[in-house]
A = this chain, B = another copy of it.
Amino acid sequence: MLPRLYFRRRPEEVEGLRSQFISSSCSVSYRNTGPLHISHGYKARLVDINGIEYLDTRNNVAHCGHGHPEIVRAITYQVGQLQTNTRYLHPHASLLAKKLSDLLPRSLERVFFVNSGSEANDLALRLARAYKMQQKGATHDARKDHTIVIDHGYHGHTLSTLDASAYKHRQGKEIDKCPAHLRIVPCPDVYRGVHSIKKSLPRKYDASLHKDKEQYCESEIEAANKYASYVEIECEKYPVSAFLIEGGMSVAGVILPPKSYLRRCIDAVHKAGGLYIADEVQTGFGRLGKCMWAFQYSNENEGGVDEIIPDIVTVGKPFGNGQPLAAVITTPCIASAFESLGVEYFNTFAASPVQCAAGLAMLHVLSSEHLQKNADDVGNYLVELFSELQSRCEWIGDIRGSGLFIGVELVRDQHTLEPATEETSFVCSILKDKYKVLTSVDGAHENVMVIKPPLVFSRADAALFVSCFEKALLVDLPMVKDRLKYFGRTPT
């Protein structure tokens, strides 16, 4: 009885109701150029109400693809059986906790299920506080311990995780942007950051663009050392309870920490008695291709020596392939510091048999369809295609990332690195309107195309995407610029 009525709504009505009843703080993509009325999806495709298919290069939640039949079946079956809380025992929650732990380093074997990445990072901060309290004794004021976070990082929308999200501090004008106990260190961006690496290209030093840039580094190691030193200084100066960092920074424009950065930071944090919280909400479950988790990327990078092992890991977005499912995983020792406080942790919706069925099915498909390997393969192919394009196109400043987590940074000038912000926005619009490709733009200057599609993204999808991207950049963009120039308007 229900669904038929509700689906037959004219787009104008849907838009009208939305703008009347949903706060405008909840953004709609392509608001100015025509928002999308998506009806259904499959694999890396979304289909709108007119039947137009879009290639989805940005959805990092539908990990195994939109509407994956096996996952849909698992959810569908379980919804009809039982959806209740974890105060009753159910095989799904127990098994999912085990399977999640099995995918992580051996020491990480205590799971807390939650509903979202925000709830996960919020709880991770609480665990770190409990641990510090245990170390220091009950009289210790854990609220005054410092949390070190990365500039341009994003960790969630709750009050505590917003505080920890330096990127949000810049976005708006909420006061008290940075509470006293939050220490923000520079983002270890070796392309455009404070300590970037000198490339073969000669670059002009433009003071207005690089006003806080100290000097170019000769190598990745040198940059890593310089970036890590900020964390080391914080650890010497302040009582630190946690170092919270995304394995791959998506909002910052796909920044993977340079070689040896994580190792040095973690050592300093541990020496100060703090914990390393690996935020894998965006990057976990094989997205990086080479490794299951982004924190392992540094191991890969360094030949597996001195393995990086987080104290706490948070996962979210792709975990339930769309169903709200997230988790915090930690060591028995840290969990027991929290447990000894005697406070129950109850989360009404988290890890109901339905959410867990989605999680189990996602892990099953991830493995049976070898999607991590596919991410690695297609990711390499994408980098290859973009590199080839870069040789013919001066807009592409940098191509970085791993697996299906790739950033393509557009610049107006390869020397000054002037960000091509308006051009990137234009390319994103034209890709949607003309080529039916959905993309995502991020980075401090909003000039990085962030590619983070479902892991079923194929080589054919990659080829289609890059060819559309090329046309947008080399045909449509110059054409528009030319037209605007003809009419005497500033090309934006």
Q: Across the interface, which residues of B come within 8 angstroms of A341, CB to CB?
A: 172-174
Contact across chains for A82 and B67 when beta carbons are under 8 A apart? yes
Q: Across the interface, which residues of B come within 8 angstroms of A24, CB to CB?
A: 335, 339
Instruction: From known contacts A7-B91, A81-B40, A86-B26, infer whether A158 and B160 are also in contact, taking CB-CB under 8 Å.
Output: yes
Contact across chains for A25 and B335 when beta carbons are under 8 A apart? yes
Residue of B nearest to A361 (CB): B2
Chain B's nearest CB lies how many Å from the CB of A80?
Answer: 5
Of listed A89, A100, A138, A162, residue having the most chain B CB within 10 A? A89
Which residues 74-99 of A sit at the B interface, judged by CB distance below 8 A? Answer: 74-95, 97-98
Query: 1/0 per position for A135-146, CB-CB distance to B under 8 A?
Result: 000111111000
Question: Which one of A15-23, A209-217, A457-465 is at the B interface?
Answer: A15-23
A490 at the interface (CB under 8 A from B): no
Instruction: From known contacts A80-B76, A122-B159, infer whether A17 and B94 are also in contact, taking CB-CB under 8 Å.
Output: yes
Instruction: From known contacts A39-B81, A89-B15, A173-B342, infer whether A158 and B119 are also in contact, taking CB-CB under 8 Å.
Output: yes
When all copies of this chain in the complex are counted, the total is 2
Interface size on A, residues (CB 8 A): 127
Contact across chains for B115 and A324 when beta carbons are under 8 A apart? yes
Contact across chains for B160 and A1 when beta carbons are under 8 A apart? no
A101 at the interface (CB under 8 A from B): yes
Residue of B nearest to A112 (CB): B23
Contact across chains for A179 and B143 when beta carbons are under 8 A apart? yes
Q: Across the interface, which residues of B come within 8 angstroms of A122, CB to CB?
A: 158-159
Contact across chains for B349 and A115 when beta carbons are under 8 A apart? yes
Contact across chains for B143 and A176 when beta carbons are under 8 A apart? yes
Residue of B nearest to A157 (CB): B347
A38 at the interface (CB under 8 A from B): yes
A28 at the interface (CB under 8 A from B): yes
Residue of B nearest to A83 (CB): B322
Chain B's nearest CB lies how many Å from the CB of A78?
Answer: 7
Which residues 21-80 of A sit at the B interface, judged by CB distance below 8 A? Answer: 21-29, 35-41, 46, 59, 61-62, 66-67, 70, 72-80
Q: Across the interface, which residues of B come within 8 angstroms of A176, CB to CB?
A: 141-143
Chain B's nearest CB lies how many Å from the CB of A167?
Answer: 10
A316 at the interface (CB under 8 A from B): yes
Contact across chains for A97 and B343 when beta carbons are under 8 A apart? no
Q: Which of B36, B79, B168 contacts A76 (CB 8 A)?
A: B79
A277 at the interface (CB under 8 A from B): no
A91 to B84, CA, bound (A): 27
A34 to B293, CA, bound (A): 38
Which residues 344-366 of A sit at the B interface, judged by CB distance below 8 A? Answer: 344-350, 352, 354-355, 357, 360-361, 364
Query: 1/0 per position for A311-338, CB-CB distance to B under 8 A?
Result: 0000011000111100000000001001
Q: What are the 6 closest A-B residue pairs judged by CB atoms, nearest first?
A: A172-B343, A83-B322, A21-B97, A17-B94, A324-B349, A159-B160
Q: Which residues of A contact B (CB under 8 A)?
A: 1-3, 6-7, 9, 11, 13-18, 20-29, 35-41, 46, 59, 61-62, 66-67, 70, 72-95, 97-98, 100-101, 109-113, 115-119, 122-123, 125-126, 129-130, 133, 138-143, 157-160, 162, 168, 171-176, 179, 316-317, 321-324, 335, 338-339, 341-350, 352, 354-355, 357, 360-361, 364
Q: A67-B83, A143-B176 are in contact. List 12 more A-B contacts (CB 8 A).
A: A3-B77, A6-B92, A21-B109, A22-B112, A28-B87, A35-B89, A36-B88, A76-B79, A126-B159, A142-B176, A143-B179, A171-B342
22 residue pairs A–B, Cβ–Cβ below 8 Å: A1-B364, A2-B357, A6-B91, A7-B91, A15-B94, A21-B111, A23-B111, A25-B338, A25-B339, A26-B112, A27-B87, A29-B88, A36-B88, A38-B84, A46-B88, A61-B348, A76-B79, A115-B119, A116-B347, A141-B175, A142-B175, A324-B349
